[in-house]
Amino acid sequence: MKRSVWSVCMAVTAVWCLILSDPVMGADPVTPATAQQATSVPDSVTLKDGSVIYGEIIEMSAGVLHISTAASPDKYLKVNWSEVAKLNLTHPLPFHLKEGSVIVGTAVSEPEGVLNVKVEPLQGTIAVPLQSVDSVNPLIQPPVIYTGSLQGGYSQAAGNSHLRNGSLIGEFIGRSESLRLTLLGRYIYGDDNGQLLVRNSRGTIKLDFFVTKRFYWFASSYFEQDTFQDLKLRTALSSGPGYQFIDRNDYDSPWLKDMTLYAEAGLAYFNEDFNVANDKTSFRGRWSIKFNWPFLDDRVAIYHFQEGFPSIQNSKDYYITADTGVRFKIVAGFVTGFQWTLRYNSRPAAGTTDTDNLYLLTLGYSFDTSRKRT
């Protein structure tokens, strides 16, 4: 049973690696910082009602022009591209046309409704109708985005006491338009002068198949070991539907733009192998919720993830695990964080309690390959 489970998990991971092995990176967009270095002369946008907006043109995508301007209380304005009559661009940006070509240059609108794009090092200009422009300086994401973190903690006392405590927690997520692979892992160890105090580990492999932008179907495998719960190995193989309620860039606010939230429900094969107690196997339901809220340009992130496995045969028999924490960026990708892990088993093995709490203070490294404007 254990060999077959691990074989399936490794096969799933191998297939995903083949799928992601050849990402084609998009062209780097011009950032506001780059544009600011190029010129100090403001851009201008003339609307069809005659009003003029001065500032810095950032991008135009999905039919909306984004402008950084001191005239707005929050220093940022959005106008519909269909309302633009003239546009004067004093720093070079890429213009993506509807027929597929890309022109990089500065531009002036004369006459109304026509862009005269000056492309360096060419002499003269190229006339482009405004309605033929599909986007300006769009933020092009790679086809596969990777995020994750690896954090550890260690403490040791010597002299009158001989305590050692160590922890290692990690997360890896690979996301394309139609697939998402999630790997989670944790290992905790502690001893007092060689006498074991705590040792437990947990791992999850989950693959999500997106049917639509929000709705997906998941396949998940969960493994856990705990010496002091008499638990040799807990295995849960589950599948079912999930829904992405909040995804990145659903909100325009810089406080909320990176927030994510999803929920899942399904059925699971649940097996517990004990060292002393009788082994148990059952079919259960599975539900999970994952919330992640990075803000202040990812300098702070609050997160919560929980899974529950209620028995189908007995409503009083269920197992719940939950991770709640906060992570702080120190410098570059280095982070520190605090995490509280709760595990609750309504029917624990004889001689063990139903609730375990774990508190971790960690230091580590996180990464995110998605592209962001700076």
pLDDT surpassing 90 at residue 23: no
CB 78 within 8 A of CB 121: no
Interval 286-311: pLDDT, tens: 999 999 999 998 899 999 999 999 99
- Domain presence at residue 308: yes
Residues 211 and 326 in one domain: yes
Residues 188 and 334 in one domain: yes
For 247-313, where are the E strands, in sequence order? Answer: 260-274, 280-295, 300-310
- Of 64-73, 99-108, 301-310, 342-351, the least confident: 64-73
Cα(246)–Cα(240) distance, integer angstroms = 19
- Domain presence at residue 61: yes
Is the pLDDT higher at 161 or at 369?
369
Interval 273-285: pLDDT, tens: 999 989 999 999 9
**Torsions phi, psi of 266, nearest 5?**
-175, -160
Cα(95)–Cα(278) distance, integer angstroms = 68
- CA 67 to chain CA centroid, nearest Å: 27
Residues 129 and 149 in one domain: no
Q: CATH no. for residue 158?
A: 2.40.160.40
Residues 81 and 217 in one domain: no
pLDDT surpassing 80 at residue 43: yes
- Domain presence at residue 353: yes
Residues 78 and 146 in one domain: no
Is the pLDDT higher at 374 or at 317?
317
Residues 220 and 328 in one domain: yes
Residues 176 and 193 in one domain: yes
Residues 278 and 146 in one domain: yes
Residues 209 and 358 in one domain: yes
- 3-class DSSP string for 117-155: EECCCCCCCEEEEHHHEEEECCCCCCCCEEEEEEEEEEE
Name beta bridge partners: 146.
174
**Torsions phi, psi of 13, nearest 5?**
-65, -40
pLDDT surpassing 60 at residue 231: yes
User: How many domains does one find in the chain?
Assistant: 2
pLDDT surpassing 70 at residue 35: no
Structure tokens at 260: 């994510």
Structure tokens at 186: 């944790």
Beta strands 355-368; 84-97: pairing state: unpaired
Residues 318 and 183 in one domain: yes
CB 45 within 8 A of CB 59: no
Interval 232-243: pLDDT, tens: 999 999 999 999
Residues 174 and 235 in one domain: yes
Q: What is the pTM of this model?
A: 0.76
Cα(163)–Cα(178) distance, integer angstroms = 47
- Of 11-15, 157-161, 168-172, the least confident: 11-15
Range of the domain at 196: 2-23+142-368
Name beta bridge partners: 344.
320, 355
**What is residue 372's predicted lDDT score, i.e. its pLDDT?**
75
Cα(370)–Cα(38) distance, integer angstroms = 25
Name beta bridge partners: 224.
202, 234
Is the pLDDT higher at 96 or at 4?
96
Cα(326)–Cα(187) distance, integer angstroms = 19
Q: What is the DSSP string of 218-240?
A: EEEEEEEEEGGGTEEEEEEEEEE
